[in-house]
């Protein structure tokens, strides 16, 4: 595994020049020694993995970067806090920024290039007039509580996917993969739909949620929780574990009872807890209530604890890696 300081670039031109150079090197190595980097069944050319982030990196982002490193010849991570996806300006202003630590972490993961564009590089004409619409899927769950969030997130993801698009090399077409966390399940579903619906030539790869030892899903916003709030936040994980255990045992999920339990916690302000079809995010009907659970589903939860809004999810009835 390479462990060197990544090249930090801030413009699209620098990114393309740097990734193009590394891809040519990888192509030459391939021509010399045959296929490498674990995609023997893929195209003959080299591969590029893109890891979009907003910085304030932790072990969850690290899992994305390390997976991308394992799968690809060239790895690009992006750091950009996208104002378009924030509702309240206060949330945007207090979003943690830890750039030097982020670059060091990405270096430890073997990332080749960090693309950290300023606002003017991404939005040279100000906020864009034409945006991606997340449609119906973007209005449920998180979308209902954060209007416009997914339109903003998809718009920047579309731009980043374009920025990262690898050049063709002499060795043939380049495989292009982008890595997203299962932690943001609705975002992942939407990114997959965007890539499929709008014919983006990129494979979207999901990486399982990384949790603290006690089960709390890692998040850049967890640092704002005090000790008591952090303990209360574990209620979310507990609720999903209960549902997962019932699903595993093919028992009725008794979802309403679990919702009531979470809602009764004095420090937890529950926004939603539901059990949905993983592909469509349509709530499951009777299956999750009083009849024995069969099949596969996704539990989605969001709640406010102290100053932080937490989201989490858990796959029910099948290992997370297969979703
Ligand atoms: P963010 O910087 O919060 O926009 O997240 C960048 C990427 O990291 C997204 O694809 C997230 O889903 C992913 N991510 C964030 N937290 C975790 C986690 N705990 N486990 C796995 N992936 C995560």
Ligand 1 pocket test: which of 53, 102, 190, 223 has the largest number of ligand atoms within 8 Å of its C-beta?
Answer: 53
**What is the rounded CA–CA span in Å between residue 319 and residue 317?**
7
Residue 37 has pLDDT above 50, yes or no: no
For residue range 85-112, what is the model confidence (pLDDT) as tens digits?
Answer: 998 887 899 999 999 999 999 999 999 9
- For residue range 184-212, what is the model confidence (pLDDT) as tens digits? 999 999 999 999 999 999 999 999 999 99
198: helix, coil or strand? coil
Which residue has the CA at smallest separation from atom 5 of ligand 1? 53
What residues contact residue 122 under an 8 Å CB cut-off, 6+ apart? 80, 82, 156, 159
Q: From CA 123, how far away is CA 97, in angstroms rounded?
A: 20
Instruction: Enumerate residues lining ligand 1, CB below 6 A.
Output: 53-54, 60-61, 63-64, 180-181, 183-184, 207, 209-210, 217-220
Does pLDDT of 43 surpass 60?
no
More confident of the two residues 319 and 266: 266
Percent of the chain with pLDDT over 90: 81
Ligand 1 pocket: which of 61, 84, 205 to mutate (most atoms within 8 A of CB): 61
Confidence of residue 72 (pLDDT cuts 50, 70, 90): very high
How far, in Å, is the centroid of ligand 1 from the Cα of 53? 7
pTM: 0.94
Instruction: Output the pLDDT for position 166.
Output: 94
Assess contact for 273 and 299: CB atoms under 8 A.
yes
Pocket test for ligand 1, best of 56, 183, 202, 212 (most atoms within 8 A of CB): 183
Q: Which residue has the higher pLDDT, 13 or 42?
A: 13
Give residue 15 CA to ligand 1 midpoint distance, Å.
Answer: 22
For residues 38 and 233, the model is more confident at: 233
- Annotation marks residue 58 as catalytic: no
Average pLDDT over residues 143-148: 96
User: What does the pLDDT look like over 215-259, one tens digit per residue?
Assistant: 999 999 999 999 999 999 999 999 999 999 999 999 999 999 999
Helix axes 255-263, 227-248, angle to 10 degrees: 170
User: Which candidate, 298, 291, 290, places its Cα nearest to that of 317?
Assistant: 298
- The residue count of the chain comes to 323
Give me the catalytic one of 58, 61, 265, 290: 61
Specify the pLDDT at position 100: 97
Helix (H), strand (E) at residue 48: strand 47-53
**β-strands 113-115, 308-316 pairing:** unpaired
In this prediction, residue 118 carries a pLDDT of 97
Rounded Cα gap, residues 176 and 162, in angstroms:
11
Q: Can you tell me the mean pLDDT for 155-159?
A: 98
Distance CA 258, CA 240 (A): 9
Residue 299 has a pLDDT of 97
């Amino acid at each position: 595994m390479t462990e060197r300081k990544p090249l930090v670039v801030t413009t699209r031109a620098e990114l393309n020049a740097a990734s193009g150079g590394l891809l040519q090197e990888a192509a030459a190595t391939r021509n010399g020694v045959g296929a490498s980097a674990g995609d023997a069944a893929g195209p003959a050319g080299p591969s590029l993995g893109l890891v979009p982030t907003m910085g304030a990196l932790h072990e969850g982002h690290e899992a994305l970067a390390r997976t991308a490193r394992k799968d690809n010849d060239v790895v690009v991570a992006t750091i950009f806090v996208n104002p378009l996806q924030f509702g309240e300006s206060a949330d945007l202003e207090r979003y943690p920024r830890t750039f030097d630590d982020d670059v060091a972490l990405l270096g430890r993961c073997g990332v080749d290039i960090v693309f950290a564009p300023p606002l003017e590089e991404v939005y040279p004409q100000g906020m864009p007039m034409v945006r991606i619409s997340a449609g119906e899927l973007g209005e449920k769950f998180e979308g209902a509580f954060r209007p416009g969030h997914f339109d903003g997130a998809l718009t920047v993801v579309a731009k980043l996917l374009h920025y990262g698009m690898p050049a063709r090399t002499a060795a043939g077409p380049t495989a292009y993969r982008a890595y997203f966390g299962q932690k943001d399940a609705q975002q992942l579903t939407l990114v997959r739909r965007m890539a499929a619906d709008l014919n983006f030539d990129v494979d979207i790869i999901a990486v399982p949620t990384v949790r603290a030892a006690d089960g709390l899903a890692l998040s850049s916003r967890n640092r704002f929780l005090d000790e008591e709030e952090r303990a209360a936040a574990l209620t979310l994980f507990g609720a999903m574990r209960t549902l997962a255990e019932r699903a595993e045992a093919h028992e009725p999920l008794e979802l309403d009872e679990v919702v009531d339990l979470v809602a009764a916690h004095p420090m937890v302000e529950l926004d939603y807890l539901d059990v949905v079809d993983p592909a469509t995010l349509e709530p499951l009907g009777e299956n999750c209530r009083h009849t024995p659970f069969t099949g596969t589903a996704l539990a989605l939860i969001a709640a406010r604890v102290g100053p932080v809004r937490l989201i989490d999810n858990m796959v029910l009835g099948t290992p997370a890696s297969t979703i």
